[in-house]
Structure 1
Amino acid sequence: MPERRCNVLSPWLRAGALAALLALSACDNGPEQPEGEKQPAPADNGAAQQSEPPATAAPEGKLETREETLRRRADNCSGDDCAKVAVDLKLYEGHPELNQAVRRRMIRQLSGNGEDQGAPPKTLEEAADRFLTTAAGIPGDGARGWELSGESRQLGRWKDLLTVAIDSYEFTGGAHGLPVTRWLNWDLAAHRPVSLGQVINPGQEDAFEAAARRAHERWLEKEVDSDEDFRQAWPFQESSDFRLTRKGLVLHYDVYSIAPYVMGQPTLTLPWKDLEGVIREEYRPDGGQ
């Protein structure tokens, strides 16, 4: 089993202050609504907030999008295995604050989530150039196969809450690269990110954690049954990456968080029936599921 590397995940109590942050298709980004409901308004988690624009009516139906791409590769290198960078962003027409939040989060992930020394890059191009400069400093062909990539994609929309997945992947040798995903929830009416802490009723953090632990136990029973060694090696952790769906609140985990690399990026679903009184009413299904 590869060396375990724990993903640093923020507790629910700090998620409201955290500017945290995409596989449903990008073909339909209209609101996801529980049976027969109209549209109320939630939001997301994921960028440093500036002045908060006034709330407006959220757009109905499909949002207009455009693609933004970035391609870089090592200089003086030939062949398919040269160090390279590829970024593909889905951006939203008429939503500059959301696009800024997506770019900011992508830059952070491409630069190692702030783990690199020195001032963080300000643009995607700068993040790409830093990666290629590092690769160029590896002697011989040591940087052959190096890869840095990123993609933003729409996961879904719950009422006025749009969820965007921001994926990155870095390979610098070894058995495999490191994928990282953050989920950005964005309030289309208030033009701001919404964190996990903002959807939990005050004082209900312990109840939320209990619901998450029950979901984790169900996941363990399905995936590893009674494997006690696995349970000891990969205990429950909190996550601030979430989305709202018809089935309930879904938590996302990166590799090496609650499972080894080979099991990918797990998700836990907390059904609405387990979240009575826990999630703020404006974010719950209108039908009271």
Structure 2
Amino acid sequence: MMRRSGQSPLLIVSALALALSLAACDNGTDAPAEPDKKDTAPATDNGQPDRPVETDGGDKQAARPVPAKLTHQMETLERRPQGCDGDDCPHFEVRLQVYEGQPELNAAVRRQLTSQLVVTSENPASPDSLEAAAEQFLSTAAGVSGEGSHGWELTGETRQLGRWKDLVTIAISSYEFTGGAHGLPVTRWLNWDLGENHAVPLGRLIESGQESAFWNAAERAHARWVEKQAPDDAGFREDWPFQQSESYRLTPAGVVLHYDVYSIAPYAMGQPELTVPWKDLEGVIRPRYRPH
């Protein structure tokens, strides 16, 4: 999540800034990407040449070439209320990775991030753009009487988390603070097949008829996680039972499932991840996405 720092007085600040240098951001081994120290810092390259897409049966299609690596520019959007200065001002900020030559992927990332940038307590209509999300947030804050909106913030960030074969995973994160003890972070993992040029939801990853087998394996992974995280808390599993999650990514260790705060653990434990090992997924995941 992004935290605020003091800035000079601004009218409604609207900054759409593109970084001047491109940043390569592939992870051929699917190691989690380190946070960027600079927008132009390169990430690792998987070293694979552009190639045609292969079907599950191995037949090559005359499809778009798959890039050996993705490059991106940073786009930022920041807004505050007119005439407001200081750390107590409601603050909206977005940092978005825009990938070169990937318009459909960029549009999907933007849509998902936009859908997360809503003040949840107010339950307003979903905005149709990042700019509309900013205006909606500031309008909501302005409607709160007195100093009730002091310190409010709504931020968003996207980054490439990893890559498995032609499947790239984008972490789309948002953070909302509208008072209280702490804010609310939300993260969604978007998986995009660069060869087929579309999102791959979890249901499309699993072989037909193998859904129960997948979730049974995931529940066993959850039991192991509970035993490790709370071995002396007999009531933990009852208080925080297993749930399904649609946020996933593929790694050499297996299928990793992501959970937001308050889902399978208390807020203090952050955003948990469960790894369902490949050995428990024989015949469960489509051949296109299984390890060689």
Q: TM-score, normalised by structure 1?
A: 0.80
The one-letter code matched in structure 2 to 1:63 is L
Q: Are the aligned partners of 1:234 and 1:257 in contact in 2 as well (CA < 8 Å)? A: yes
The residue number in structure 2 matching 1:109 is: 116
- Where does residue 66 of structure 1 map in the other structure? 73
Gapped regions of structure 2 (runs ≥ 5): 1-31, 37-41, 56-61
Give me the whole-angstrom Cα distance separating, in 2, the residues matched to 1:257 and 1:173: 21
Distance (Å, rounded) in 2 between the aligned partners of 1:231 and 1:188: 38
Higher relative contact order, structure no. (Cα contacts within 8 Å, ≥ 6 residues apart): 1
Amino acid at match of 1:69: T
Equivalent in 80, 88, 93 of residue 87 of structure 2: 80
The structure-2 alpha-carbon separation of the partners of 1:56 and 1:273, relative to structure 1 and needing over 3 Å to count, comes to same
Distance 1:29 1:67 in 2: 18
- The correspondence of residues 8-47 of structure 1 with structure 2, limited to 5 A, is 23-25=32-34, 27-28=42-43, 30-31=45-46
Which residue matches 1:89? 96
Distance 1:59 1:115 in 2: 42
Structure 1 residues 248 and 40, CA, compared in 2 at 3 Å: closer, same or farther? farther
**What is the identity, as a one-letter code, of the residue corresponding to 2:99?**
Y
Task: Please list the CA deviations of residues 109-140 of structure 1 after superposition, one character each: whole Å capped at 9, or x if unmatched.
Answer: 0025898333x211101101110111111111
Deviation for aligned residue 1:55? 3.5
What do residues 14-47 of structure 1 show as CA deviations (whole Å, max 9, x unaligned)?
xxxxxxxxx52364264499xxxx99779xxxxx
* Aligned equivalent of 2:217: 211
Match of 2:271 in 1: 265
Indicate the percent of aligned positions where both proteins have the same amino acid.
58
Give the count of matched residue pairs.
Answer: 247
Which amino acid is the alignment partner of residue 130 of structure 2?
A: L
| Cα deviation 1:215-267 (Å, max 9, x = unaligned) | 10110011001412211110000001000011110000000000011100000
1:177 alignment partner in structure 2: 183
Provide closer, same or farther for how the CA distance between residues 240 and 195 of structure 1 changes in structure 2, counting only shifts above 3 A. same
Alignment TM-score, normalising by the size of structure 2: 0.80
Distance 1:173 1:273 in 2: 45
Check if 1:256 corresponds to 2:265: no
Moved over 6 A (4+): 38-42
**Rg larger for:** 2
Note if 1:55 corresponds to 2:70: no
Partner SS, residue 143 of structure 1: coil
Give the Cα separation in 2 of the matches to 1:219 and 1:32: 34
In structure 1, runs of 5+ residues without a counterpart are 1-22, 43-53
1:142: how far off?
A: 1.1
- What is the root-mean-square deviation of aligned Cα atoms in Å? 2.3
Contact 1:252 1:268 in 2 (8 A): yes
For residues 104 and 248 of structure 2, the distance between their equivalents in structure 1, rounded to whole angstroms, comes to 20
Q: Given residue 90 of structure 1, which amino acid in structure 2 is its aligned partner? A: Q
